[in-house]
Structure 1
């Protein structure tokens, strides 16, 4: 099992980042790949989970061990696969997810793509009372604005990339169109657009 990798982010796409470690490039699927764009010139540590199936060998990566831990817990729920777990973590608010599970808030959980009432109920049945080790204060507030100024970006490229990232997470055109007016009124970086869109989608 690969516990973490430390290296330089060489490529960022809507679905994954490529991390160069001593001449080897690792493809790592992450909840919001664009948060690593600001790290392209410095060494980063990504906590990884290696997913192995007969036809798949994939690495999933996270900023913190707590995010990774919640991802692994979600994978144990019937009906939740890696893509679904990533979509839940992409909200940047894992503490809200834990709170919803502990309070049996099915309505909140069904806002995530691929999570219907049956799956939401299964998440609560499987995980309620088992997330005590995930302390909310351990999670960084990913909705705080980045230091990088979005005004330096030209054109609509950041917004376009963010829309692609939302599609990868499983959100449909209809859902994305609902939040577009609000997003177009702001000048943000790609990862900020993704975070803002998810914030609006989960209201």
Structure 2
């Protein structure tokens, strides 16, 4: 099992990043790849989960060991696969998710892409009481603030956030409706814009 990879981020796209270490480039799928955009060509540690099945092998990467652990636990829930687990981690923090499970908040859990009431109840049944070490709600390890952005920079941030949301399965029509709201968040990072976009989608 590959616990983590320490290397340079050489590429970021809507679904994954590439991390190079000792001359080897690792293709790693992430919840919000554009959250690493500001660290392009910089060296950092990515916590990884090596997913192996007969017909599929993939590396999934996370900013924190807590995210990685929650991803692993979500895979053990009936009805949740890697894509669904990534969508959950892209839309919320570990602490917020655990809080929702502990209070049996079906309404919160069913707002995630692909999660219906049956799957939400299964998550509560399988995970309640087993994630208490992640309460209270955690704060993000890194909150990036961008001061004094130009309009072009802000628009680029919004466009990249919309691309990340599109990769999660939202249509161009849905994204067009929330773009004006995201464009008002002048000092938000791409990660924050993605979260805000997901929150707006959940209100529909």
Q: TM-score, normalised by structure 2?
A: 0.88
Count residues in correspondence. Answer: 202
Question: Hey, what's the Cα distance between the residues in 2 that align with 1:191 and 1:137?
Answer: 18
> Structure 2 matches for 1:15-94, cutoff 5 A?
15-94=15-94
| Cα distance change, pair 161–107 in 1 and its aligned pair in 2 (3 A) | same
Deviation of 1:34 after TM superposition, in Å, equals 1.1
Matched, 1:160 2:159: yes
| More moved, 65-74 vs 86-95 | 86-95
Deviation of 1:180 after TM superposition, in Å, equals 2.3
Query: 2:134 aligns to what SS in structure 1?
Result: coil
Segments of 5+ residues of structure 1 without an aligned counterpart are: none
The answer to whether the 8 Å contact 1:28/1:60 transfers is yes
| Cα distance change, pair 20–136 in 1 and its aligned pair in 2 (3 A) | farther
| Cα distance change, pair 79–175 in 1 and its aligned pair in 2 (3 A) | farther
Query: 2:91 aligns to what SS in structure 1?
Result: coil
| Cα distance change, pair 149–66 in 1 and its aligned pair in 2 (3 A) | farther
Question: Hey, what's the Cα distance between the residues in 2 that align with 1:30 and 1:107?
Answer: 25
Per-residue CA distance 1:41-81 (angstroms, 9 max, x = gap): 42100000001111211001111101111111111100111
Deviation of 1:106 after TM superposition, in Å, equals 0.4
Question: Hey, what's the Cα distance between the residues in 2 that align with 1:129 and 1:90?
Answer: 23
The answer to whether the 8 Å contact 1:29/1:59 transfers is yes
Question: Hey, what's the Cα distance between the residues in 1 that align with 2:126 and 2:114?
Answer: 17
| Cα distance change, pair 108–173 in 1 and its aligned pair in 2 (3 A) | farther
Deviation of 1:179 after TM superposition, in Å, equals 2.2
Deviation of 1:176 after TM superposition, in Å, equals 3.0
Deviation of 1:82 after TM superposition, in Å, equals 0.7
Deviation of 1:132 after TM superposition, in Å, equals 1.7
Query: 2:130 aligns to what SS in structure 1?
Result: coil
Question: RMSD of the alignment, in Å?
Answer: 2.3
Q: TM-score, normalised by structure 1?
A: 0.88
2:106 alignment partner in structure 1: 106
Query: 1:133 aligns to what SS in structure 2?
Result: helix
| Cα distance change, pair 189–150 in 1 and its aligned pair in 2 (3 A) | farther
Deviation of 1:157 after TM superposition, in Å, equals 3.4
1:186 alignment partner in structure 2: 185
The answer to whether the 8 Å contact 1:14/1:34 transfers is yes
